[in-house]
Structure 1
C-alpha cells in the first residue's frame, strides 16, 4: 500500500481524524470535516498515557519517589487493611495495572462504572479486595489510574491539570483542553481529557524524541524508556495483545507471508488507546507518530486493529522502498 492509497483505504472507517508524522514531517492528514481539526475531542483512556508522562516528570523533579515506593506511603489507611498484601502494592504496580485488585473494568460490582457512581472514587478503589498478590498479573483498571492522579496531586501540591499546564501542556504549546474531575476535585487519571488531534500528535512526538522538546528535556530519556518498555504481558482478552508498560500498550508488527512486503523486519511500537478508536502510536524505528480519533460509537466502535490492518502495512511497505 502506498501513501496515496491511504485515504481510500481509510474511507470506509469514517474516522474523525488520522494524522501521520514521519521524521518531523506530516506525511498524511485527514479530517472528516474542518471542525475535527480545531475542536478538542475526548481521548478517553489515552488520558492514562498523559498521566504517565506527568508521573515521570514528577519523578524527574524529585517530587515523586521511585517506582518501588509502597502506595501506603500516600494512603496510610492501607496499613490498617485486613489484607496484608495491600502493603506490598507499589507505584510500579499501579502504573503497570498489576495492583492485584479484584476488578472488572466494564462491569460487575468492582468496576469502573461502579467507581464513578460513588461519592469518593479514591476510597472506593482503596477498599477493593485483592484477588492475587500485587505484581502477579495485569488487569486493566482505571481505579489504579485514579490513585496515581491522587498521588500526583499530593506530591505536587496542585491540581493535576495545573501541573500539566506548567510542565507539559505549556512547553508543548497545548492551550485548548478540558479535563474532568472526580467528586473530590481530583482530575480523572484514567479518562476524561480532551485534546485536539494535532496536540495528541505533539504528545506522541515528545516520546518519539525520547522526552526532548525544542532541544530541552521535558522528561528524562531514562524514564521515557522505562515507561514505554514491555513491563508485563497484557491481559489475554482479545483483541488485546502484546505487553503493557507504564500506562502504555507495547507490541510488535510483523508482516505476514501474504503481505506486499513480507520481508520487512519486525516493527516495534507502543501506543495509547482510548475507547471508541482514539489512539497515539509511536514507532521509533521509522521515526513515526500516528494519531487516530473517532466519535461515531453507535455506528462503529472501530476495532483496535485499524493500525495493524491498514496503517502498519503501508508504513512497512514504504520503509522497504527506501
Structure 2
C-alpha cells in the first residue's frame, strides 16, 4: 500500500529529481478551489500523497461515481485478465470470449473485432454513446444491441467513442472468467492494490456496466494510476502483463474532441512540457499519470449539473499543466 501522507516529502536525495515545491502545491490548491464543480483533488509524487483536498461532496477516501473514467479501470482489468491467462491477448477475437452471448445473424465483420479494438474504441460499429446512448441502455439486451449495430468503419479503423465497446469487454470477462466483473475486479485489482471496489450497476442480463458508473474513491484512483506508473507491478507483484503499460500508452486513434491520442483506456497528451496520460469521465472525473515527474493526480467533480463538456476537461488539463510547469 502506498504511503498516504498529506505533507510534501523530501526527494532531494534522488539525483536529478526535483520535487514539487510547497508554493506550487499551494497555487494548485487555490486554483482548484476556484472551480466550483470540484469535489476532491489528490496529488501523489513518487508514491506518496503530497496534496489531498476535499472541496465539496464525499471525501477523498469515499467512493464517487467516476463515470467514463471506468473505461480506464476496465482496461486495467483486461490487462489483469491477460496476466491471469483468462484472456489470451489483445489480438483475441471478442466472439471467442463472448461465446453463446453472440447473437445469430451478425455481420461477418463482427468476427474480426478483437479485444484490442474494443480497448482502443476502434470496433467499427455504430456508437452507443452520444445521441444513441438512451436507446442503447433502454434496450432489452445491451450486448446484442451493440453487436447488431451497423458498421460505420472497419474494425481497427478510426476511434469511435462508444461505451458499448467497453461493455462488450465486461461481458467477455464475466463469460471467460466464469464470475462477475465485480468479483474479478476485486480479486485481480482490489486485492493487489489494497483498494475497495463497491458494486456498480448491471445491464438487464446482470452484466456489470462496462465503461461507466463504477464507484471508486480518489485514493483508490491514485492506486490505479500508480499501478501504471510502476509498469504494472504493485508491491513486488506483477498485476499487469509486462509491456502492458507501454501498449496502453501507445496512441492508436485520435479523439475528435481534443485531438489527443488514445490507447487502451488512456488519452495521450503533453502537459507542462511532459508526456502525460489521462482517463476522464463525464462532469470532471479524471486520473492523470506523468511518469517523468513521478506524478499521479486524481480529480472528482459534481457530475449532476449540465456538463460544460470538453471545455471543462480542458480546464482540468490546464490545472495540471500549470502544476507541472511551476514545479
**TM-score bucket (shorter structure):** 0.7 to 0.9
Q: Is 1:7 matched up with 2:35?
A: no
TM-score (structure 2 length as normaliser): 0.86
TM-score (structure 1 length as normaliser): 0.87
Q: Residues 153 and 186 of structure 1 are in contact (CA less than 8 Å); yes or no, is this contact kept in structure 2?
A: yes
Q: Is 1:316 matched up with 2:294?
A: no
- How many angstroms does 1:80 deviate by? 5.3
Structure 1 CA distance for aligned equivalents of residues 58 and 205 of structure 2: 33
Structure 2 CA distance for aligned equivalents of residues 158 and 146 of structure 1: 15
Q: Residues 251 and 268 of structure 2 are in contact (CA less than 8 Å); yes or no, is this contact kept in structure 1?
A: yes
- How many angstroms does 1:286 deviate by? 0.5
Q: Is 1:54 matched up with 2:77?
A: yes
SS of alignment partner, residue 63 of structure 1: coil
Q: Gaps (5+ residues) in structure 1?
A: 256-265
Q: Is 1:244 matched up with 2:262?
A: yes
SS of alignment partner, residue 88 of structure 2: coil
Q: Residues 92 and 115 of structure 2 are in contact (CA less than 8 Å); yes or no, is this contact kept in structure 1?
A: yes
Q: Which runs of 4+ in 1 moved over 6 A?
A: none
Structure 2 CA distance for aligned equivalents of residues 183 and 34 of structure 1: 30
The range that moved more, 284-293 or 241-250, is 241-250
Deviation by residue 1:6-30 (Cα, 9 ceiling, x = unmatched): 2221222031001111112222221
SS of alignment partner, residue 161 of structure 1: helix
- How many angstroms does 1:55 deviate by? 0.7
The residue aligned with 1:303 is 312
- How many angstroms does 1:46 deviate by? 1.1
The residue aligned with 2:278 is 271
SS of alignment partner, residue 16 of structure 1: strand
The residue aligned with 2:109 is 85
Q: Residues 185 and 197 of structure 2 are in contact (CA less than 8 Å); yes or no, is this contact kept in structure 1?
A: no
Q: Residues 285 and 301 of structure 2 are in contact (CA less than 8 Å); yes or no, is this contact kept in structure 1?
A: yes
Q: Gaps (5+ residues) in structure 2?
A: 1-22
Q: Residues 72 and 79 of structure 1 are in contact (CA less than 8 Å); yes or no, is this contact kept in structure 2?
A: no
Match of 1:225 among 239, 243, 246: 246
- How many angstroms does 1:212 deviate by? 1.3
Q: Residues 83 and 239 of structure 2 are in contact (CA less than 8 Å); yes or no, is this contact kept in structure 1?
A: no
- How many angstroms does 1:178 deviate by? 3.0
Structure 1 CA distance for aligned equivalents of residues 157 and 307 of structure 2: 35
**Gap change, CA 1:118 and 1:79, over 3 Å in 2:** closer
Structure 1 CA distance for aligned equivalents of residues 160 and 288 of structure 2: 22
- How many angstroms does 1:219 deviate by? 1.3
The residue aligned with 2:175 is 154
Match of 1:27 among 19, 42, 50: 50
**Gap change, CA 1:309 and 1:167, over 3 Å in 2:** same
- How many angstroms does 1:79 deviate by? 9.0
Q: Residues 201 and 209 of structure 2 are in contact (CA less than 8 Å); yes or no, is this contact kept in structure 1?
A: yes
The residue aligned with 1:39 is 62
**Gap change, CA 1:208 and 1:182, over 3 Å in 2:** same
The residue aligned with 1:261 is none
Q: Residues 177 and 196 of structure 1 are in contact (CA less than 8 Å); yes or no, is this contact kept in structure 2?
A: no
User: Which runs of structure 2 are paired with 1:99-178 in the superposition (5 Å)?
Assistant: 99-103=123-127, 105-107=129-131, 111-175=132-196, 177-178=198-199
- How many angstroms does 1:296 deviate by? 5.3
